[in-house]
Structure 1
Amino acid sequence: MRAGQRPGGHGFGAPEAPSAPPRPDTAWGRISGTVLAYIALTKPRVIELLLVATIPAMLFADRGHVDIVLILSTLFGGWMGAASANSLNCVVDADIDKVMKRTALRPLARQTVPTRNAFVFGVLLGVASFAWLWWRANLLSGLLVVATIAFYVLVYTMVLKRRTWQNVVWGGAAGCMPVMVGWAAVTGSLSWEPVVLFLVVFFWTPPHTWALAMRYKEDYKAAGVPMLPVIATEQHVTKQILLYTWATVIATLVIVPAAGVVYAVVAILAGAWFLFVAHQLYNSVRGGASVKPLKLFLQSNNYLAVVCLGLAVDSVLALPTIGSYF
Structure 2
Amino acid sequence: MSTHEGHLKGTSIGLSEATAADFFALLKPRVMALAVFTAFVGLMVAPGGMNPVMAVIAIGAIAAGAGAAGALNMWYDADIDALMSRTSKRPVPSGRVTPGEALGFGLVLSALSVMTLGVLVGWLAASLLAFTIFFYVVIYTMWLKRSTPQNIVIGGAAGALPPVIGWAAATGGIGIESLILFLVIFLWTPPHFWALALFKVGDYAVAGIPMMPNVAGQASTKKQILVYALLLVPVGVLPWLLGFASGFYGIASAALGGGFLWHSWKVLTAPGPEMRPAKALFAYSIFYLFALFAMLLADAIVMRAAAAN
Structure 1 position 220, deviation (Å): 0.5
Corresponding residue to 2:27 among 22, 37, 42: 42
Instruction: Output the aligned Cα RMSD.
Output: 1.8
1:226 aligns to what SS in structure 2?
A: coil
Count of residue pairs the alignment pairs up? 286
Residue among 138, 146, 150 paired with 1:154: 138
User: 2: distance between equivalents of 1:66 and 1:306?
Assistant: 24
2:128 maps to what in 1? Answer: 144
Same amino acid, percent of matched pairs: 36
What secondary structure is seen at the aligned counterpart in 2 of 1:102? coil
Aligned to 1:206: 190
Does the alignment pair 1:55 with 2:40? yes
2-side partners of 1:87 and 1:51: how far apart? 16
Other-structure match for 2:115: 131
1:13 maps to none
SS of equivalent residue, structure 2 residue 97: coil
TM-score (norm 1): 0.83
Supply the AA of the counterpart residue of 1:53.
T
SS at match of 2:263: helix
Partner of 1:316: 301
The residue that corresponds to 2:288 in the other structure is: 303
Tell whether the 8 Å contact from 1:179 to 1:198 is kept in structure 2 after alignment.
yes
Q: Does 1:96 align with 2:80?
A: yes
Displacement of 1:54 in angstroms is 1.5
Letter in 2 for 1:314: D
Query: What is the CA-CA distance between 1:245 and the residue it aligns to?
Result: 1.1
Contact 1:262 1:313 in 2 (8 A): no
1:255 match: secondary structure: helix
> Given that residues 45 and 296 in structure 2 are in contact (C-alpha distance below 8 angstroms), is that contact kept between their aligned partners in structure 1?
yes
2:248 to 238, 258, 262: 262
Shift of 1:150: 0.6
Residue pairs, 1:108-187, within 5 angstroms? 108-187=92-171
Specify the code of the residue in structure 1 equivalent to 2:127. Answer: L
Please give the alpha-carbon distance, in whole angstroms, between the structure 1 residues aligned to 2:98 and 2:253. Answer: 46
Shift in Å, 1:109: 0.5
Following the alignment from structure 1 to structure 2, what is the Cα–Cα distance between the partners of residues 62 and 205? Answer: 27
Moved more, 102-111 or 177-186: 102-111
Q: How does 1:207-222 map to 2 (within 5 A)?
A: 207-222=191-206
Counterpart amino acid of 2:224?
Q
Residue 58 of structure 2 is matched in structure 1 by 74
Q: 2:228 maps to what in 1?
A: 244
> What is the aligned partner in structure 2 of residue 21 from structure 1?
none
Opposite residue 259 of structure 2, the aligned amino acid is W
1-structure distance, mates of 2:144, 2:197: 16
Counterpart code for 1:302: F
> Following the alignment from structure 1 to structure 2, what is the Cα–Cα distance between the partners of residues 69 and 245?
38
Unmatched segments (≥5 aa) in structure 1: 1-29, 320-326
Pick from 206, 212, 218 the counterpart of residue 234 of structure 1: 218
Change (3 A) 1:268 1:66: farther
State the Cα distance separating 1:66 from its structure 2 match: 7.1
**Residues 16-42 of structure 1 deviation map (CA, whole Å, 9 limit, x = unaligned):** xxxxxxxxxxxxxx96x5222211111
Structure 2 residues not aligned, in runs of 5+:
1-15, 305-309
Secondary structure of residue in 2 paired with 1:101: coil
- Matched-pair contact (CA < 8 Å) for 1:49–1:178: no
TM-score (norm. length: structure 2)? 0.87
Residues in 1 aligned to 2:174 and 2:225: alpha-carbon distance in whole angstroms: 29
Distance apart, 1:266 and its partner CA: 2.0
CA contact (8 A) 1:266 1:306 kept: no
Corresponding residue for 2:7? none
Of structures 1 and 2, the one scoring higher in RCO (CA 8 A, sep 6+) is 1
In the TM superposition, what is the alpha-carbon distance from 1:289 to its structure 2 partner?
Answer: 7.4
Residue identity matched to 1:303: Y
Contact 1:53 1:308 in 2 (8 A): yes
